[in-house]
Structure formats: C-alpha cells, structure tokens
Structure 1
Amino acid sequence: MKLVLSPEQRQLRDAVRDFLRTSSPLPKVRQGYDPQVYARLNGELGLSGLIIPEEHGGAGAGLAELAVALEETGAALLPGPFLATAFAAIALTKVQGANKELMTGIAEGRIAATLDKSEVSYDGGAVRGTLAQVLSGMEADVLVAPAVTGDGLVMVAVELAGPGVTRTALDTLDLTRGQARVVLDDAPARVLGASPSGIGDRLCVALAAEQLGVMRAALDAIVAYAKIRVAFGRYIGSYQGVKHKLADMHCKLEQAESIVRYAAWAADESPDELPGAAALAQAYVGRACFEVARDHLLLYGGIGFTWEHDAHLFYKRAKADEVLLGPPRIHRARLADLLEL
C-alpha cells in the first residue's frame, strides 16, 4: 500500500496547482464556468483523458493519479463539468467495448460528459425517463446513464443538445457547480455495452479526493488568517480556543488524506479491498470536509458570513459534495454491512 505520492504524482499535483492558481483564482471562480479555462485544462494538461486508455488517446493512468488532480481542482473550487466528466470517464473505462469515439472525444477535451446513475428505459434506439439532478447537466455535451432493456441493464450515451432532450437548470446550494433536471422523451441513444458493477465505489473515491482538496484549502486559508487577524491586542491564532480548533481540523485532514490515498490505491491495486475503502472514504471524508469548511467559516467571525468572502463558497461546496452520492449515514451502513457489524 502506498500512502505517499510518487515523484510523478507530485509533479502532476504541482502542474495542476500552478495552472489553477493563475487561470482560475477564486475571484474568477465567482464568475462561474469558463469554457476557455476548461479547454486549456484539458489541452495543456490533458486532465480529462487522465484515466482514458492510451489506445483512445488518453494517458492510461490510474485512479490514484485522477485523485491527485481532483484534490487540486477541489481546492481551487473549479467550476464546470470536470468532476462530472471524470465520473463519466470512470464508468466508460469499465464498460466492455465502450464507444471509441466518445472516449477519444473526452480524452481530447472536445466532449464534456456527465454520468447519472438513475435508470432510464431503452427501446428501439431511443430512451425515456426523467433525471432529477444531473451534475453539470447544463454544461455537459453527453449523458452516460444505465438503461433498462429486454435483455438487461446496459449503459447508453445521449447527446444532451439533441432531439427529445429537455434540460432545466436547478437552483443549487453550490454556486460554483450547477445541476440540471433532464427529461428524455424518445431521445436517440447509443448503447455502449453492458452496465458494469463497482462503478459506485470508484465514484466514491473520486469524490473523496475532491473533498480532501476542499478541506486542505479551507484549513490553509483560516490558518493564514489566524496569523494576521488581531483581536483585543493579540493575533487570534494565539488564543487557546482557536489553536485547539485548528488542531482538530488538522487531525481530520490528516486522517482524510490517509483514507483517500488508501482508497485510491485499492481501486488500482486491490479490487477486493475497494468496497470497504470506498465506503470508509465517503463515511468519513464527506462529513469531515463539511465540518472543516464549517469551522473555518466560523473562525473568520462575522466577515465569513458575508457574500463578499470566499468562506461561504467552500462551505457550500463541502455540503453539496457531502450528499452528492448519498448522505454519510448510507455509507456508514454499507461499511457496517461489509464489516459484518
């Protein structure tokens, strides 16, 4: 098991971090999704094709490398469909004989995709169904979803700008990443292959990696603030109550990092350990991320509650991520079942 990043993974982390620092700082994040930033992210760094096999134009990397990238995009609160596309790529790499054109388009950054686990019905080359909350549904070009056929469950791809598709933007808590209600009414669809098992576990790991980045950025921000903010003639970081809270937040971050690194390693190297590692990742990291984001907002005092401050952006991303794949209690129950508790 490897809980420490390799030299190549550290280089990837530094490259993504430097790019986002200059191309998508927090003031720009407030402006929402910028297709040009997304195109550069994929064109210059090739992140959308990170786990796409090499024969389809991707890098053929593992989930451990994708986790490194997601940690940095999470820390930067990157708007847009990167997480959604990563989810779709995770699913496509597990579908036997998945559409080569679609995977190549994702790898080249030409196609932004999204994955929804809600089942739709497939008949005669078209699909029907209503998907209540599709991640980045307004920005994505292609929807990947499971579909029920007479022969079983298959994965299909639907062009979201095509006929038979109605998209409605939703008002969401997270101001940096949207969702949409998608209605499919005899929308043309391509069958990609049989629906694989184990996708949910890999999605849990990917999301936990983003949450780890949110935690780290929130803690770094409030530690920096505690070193310069003066109250009653003293830096607030010198007060015992603040120091203890920051120490607790740091401990949560360290535990979360170990859990995410282990889960990513299990996804690549030890499939038998992945279900438990994935359940643990969402059972612990999801809640810990929200608690760190919440406490970092509170430690700012009154200024943290204002719309002008960035603290509420981290708070809302953390809460939205916490429930994206189901609330922590669901993952705790699954972990308990796996451990036969």
Structure 2
Amino acid sequence: MNTPDPTETEEAKALRDAVRGLLAKRSDVRTAMASPLGYDDKLWSTLCEQIGVAALAIPEEFGGVGATMAEVCVVQQELGRALTPSPMLGSAALATQALLATGNEEACGRLLPGIAAGGGIATLAWTGEDGHWSPERVPCTATGSTVDGQAHYVLDADIADVVLVVAGTPDGVGLFEAAPDAAGLRRYQVPTMDPTRRLGVIEFSGTPAERLDRGAYPLARVRDLVLVALAAEQAGAAGRALDLTVEYTKQRHQFGRPIGGFQALKHRMADVYVHVEAARSALYAAIVAALDGDPEFPADAATARLVCSEAFRHAAAEMIQLHGGIAITWEHDAHLYFKRAHGSSCLLGR
C-alpha cells in the first residue's frame, strides 16, 4: 500500500511539532489520570488556547479554525503517543461531529464556540451495556421532548458541560441535548481497565431534552469519522510503544552485549515495525477517503480501526515481553500502553 501521507504537509508538520513539544514538557500521565477531572485541565487549556486543538474540526463560523480530518489526526497521534488523557476524542471529535451532522446552525452556533475554546466539554451518550456502537441499535428512546434509557461507555460522562444523547424516535434515530442538571438525569464515572481514559454511565428517566437534528440523522457518518480519529490515536501510541522498546533493547545488556543485538529479538521488533507501518498506511488511506468524499470511506474507516487496533495490541504486548520484569511494575509505563491498547480496541466497536 503506497498511500501518500496527508499528515505530512508543512502545516501539519508544524502542528505536530507544536503539540509534541508541549506534551514533552507538560504531559504527566499519572498525575492527570489521578486528578478529579481525569486529565490535566491546565495542559488542556494551553493546547486549546495556544494551538487550538479543540477548534480544528469546527468551521470558522462556529468559532473554529476550519481544518480537516488530517489535522485532527495529527493531534490524535501525538496525544496517543504520549498517552495524554484529554477530552479531545470525546468532546472535540465525537460530540463535535455529532453536532455538525445535525445541520442545526442555531445549536452549532450556541454550543460549538465553547467546545472550540476548550472551556466547555461535551459528551455523547450512544451505546448500551453491550458496547455495540451501532447506528441502528441505541439504548435510549425519545417520546416527545423527554428521553429514557441508560447509556454506557460515555466519554467524560460525569464532567461534561454539554450532554448529547442519541435516541430512537418513531421516525428514526435523532440527536438530543439535555441539560447536565436536568430532572431525571443521573451520570457517574465507572472503573475501567484503562485508567487513562475516563468513561461513565448516563441514565435518563423522563429527562427533558431538545431534539437538534431535522430527521434522517447521519449517525453512521459520525461514527466513521470518529473511528479514524481513534485509529490515529492508536497508531501514534503503537509507534511510541515500539520506539520505547527499541530504545530499551539498546540499553539493556545481557551476556556482555545489548539484548537488541540478538536475532530473535530483532525479528520480533521487525514484526511490530511492519504492523505499525501497515496501521499508518491504513490510517492515511482512511484520511484521504474522508477528505475526498470517497464512497469507500466507511470501509476504509473500518479497516483503519481494525488494523490500528491490532497493531497497538501487538506493540503493547511485545513492549511488555521485551522489557522483561520491569514492564510488569506499576512504575513503568508499559502496562499503561497495554491497557490503553485493549481498552481502545473495544471503543466504538460495531
């Protein structure tokens, strides 16, 4: 596969350098995941104010910068590379795309500027307890102007300022907005395998909500776009897991030589390298399809999601194996990559 890399323009490179430089100086994964918000709000504010990461996917008329999926994926790769907890995926990607897909200019004009500035965190309640993110199967239903149901695996559920919910109606699936403190709405964080990703449950019981779409809501398109953003995060994390492993095998000596010089370990790292490069190619193909409006985009997005998930799981598993005993300690980051790999492989699943 010889797909040109749409994230290697001069603008994209500058964006990558800016995000990577800031994360290298400021990102502290363990402190962030132990904080009340589950992320470093000061770092997030800096990313939004100085670089504009939350505004990338938002059109200029709604307070954004009107960038493309390529720029969003550049940021996602860097956040994944550093395992930085942030509202980027849930708020700036998933909820933002859900709002834009409504075509509701009033709602977009009211909600998106706050999301773009990073001061408002939005969340989207979509899937049920089975974790099936399907446009046809949603756990919530709307009757008139009220919503009932229980949504699971909701990103930043308990801290969001804007609560959106996908609900079934007599004329199909629609997108609704509920006030965070609305009557009959209950939300709470739940323990997860991946401590770097905050998930929760939102319960609706006769909760007042306003429908935002005008019918024929393109939920499948929303999912496909966010699948690509998630795949970018996975590809970035997989590449970093490989880099850290290679670096360690050059430093660790056994029998008077670096362990990275042993043929068996070279083969294993080469296998991971091939897998990571395949993931990047699948990701780039999906980005190009999204930018070009290719009718094959849904298939390309699903392919990127699958290949990037597999590559990240492979890289994280080999990271633990080739680091040896140190990798199974809490102090080492290998287990965080491993948990993120398996947690993200279940997110947005069909």
TM-score by length of 1: 0.91
Q: Deviations over 1:172-224 (max 9, x none)?
A: 00011121111112223222113224222112111100101110111111111
What corresponds to 2:49 in structure 1?
43
1:111 lines up with 2:131 in the alignment: no
What corresponds to 2:90 in structure 1?
84
Question: Could you list the runs of 5+ residues in structure 2 that have no partner in the other structure?
Answer: 128-137
Q: What CA RMSD, in Å, does the superposition of the two structures yield over aligned residues?
A: 1.7
What corresponds to 2:142 in structure 1?
122
What corresponds to 2:14 in structure 1?
11
What corresponds to 2:76 in structure 1?
70
After TM superposition, the structure 1 = structure 2 runs for residues 178-257 of structure 1, keeping only pairs within 5 Å, are 178-193=198-213, 194=215, 195-196=217-218, 197-257=220-280
Question: Could you list the runs of 5+ residues in structure 1 that have no partner in the other structure?
Answer: 331-341
Q: Which residue identity does 1:90 align to in structure 2?
A: Q
Counterpart contact for 2:185–2:203, Cα < 8 Å: yes
Task: Give the CA deviation at 1:288.
Answer: 1.4
What corresponds to 1:339 in structure 2?
none
Matched residue of 2:209: which SS? strand
What corresponds to 1:334 in structure 2?
none
Task: Give the CA deviation at 1:226.
Answer: 1.1
Task: Give the CA deviation at 1:116.
Answer: 3.1
What corresponds to 2:177 in structure 1?
157
Q: Which residue identity does 1:91 align to in structure 2?
A: A
Further displaced range: 257-266 or 127-136: 127-136
Q: Deviations over 1:83-111 (max 9, x none)?
A: 11111112222221151211111111121
Q: Which residue identity does 2:223 align to in structure 1?
A: G
Q: CA separation in 2, counterparts of 1:134 and 1:244?
A: 39
- In the superposition, relative to structure 1, how do residues 161 and 23 fare at CA in structure 2: closer, same or farther (>3 Å)? farther
Task: Give the CA deviation at 1:29.
Answer: 4.2
**After the TM superposition, which parts of structure 1 deviate over 4 Å for at least 4 consecutive aligned residues?**
none
Counterpart contact for 1:29–1:77, Cα < 8 Å: no
Q: Deviations over 1:111-139 (max 9, x none)?
A: 11122333322234322111122122123
Counterpart contact for 2:157–2:201, Cα < 8 Å: yes
Further displaced range: 2-11 or 317-326: 2-11
What corresponds to 2:40 in structure 1?
34
Counterpart contact for 1:113–1:143, Cα < 8 Å: yes
Matched residue of 1:185: which SS? strand
Task: Give the CA deviation at 1:35.
Answer: 1.8
Further displaced range: 54-63 or 138-147: 138-147
Q: CA separation in 2, counterparts of 1:152 and 1:276?
A: 23
Counterpart contact for 1:134–1:182, Cα < 8 Å: yes
Q: Which residue identity does 2:157 align to in structure 1?
A: G
What corresponds to 1:170 in structure 2?
190
Q: CA separation in 1, counterparts of 2:302 and 2:40?
A: 33
What corresponds to 1:333 in structure 2?
none
Matched residue of 2:296: which SS? helix
What corresponds to 1:131 in structure 2?
151
TM-score by length of 2: 0.89
What corresponds to 2:134 in structure 1?
none
Matched residue of 1:272: which SS? coil
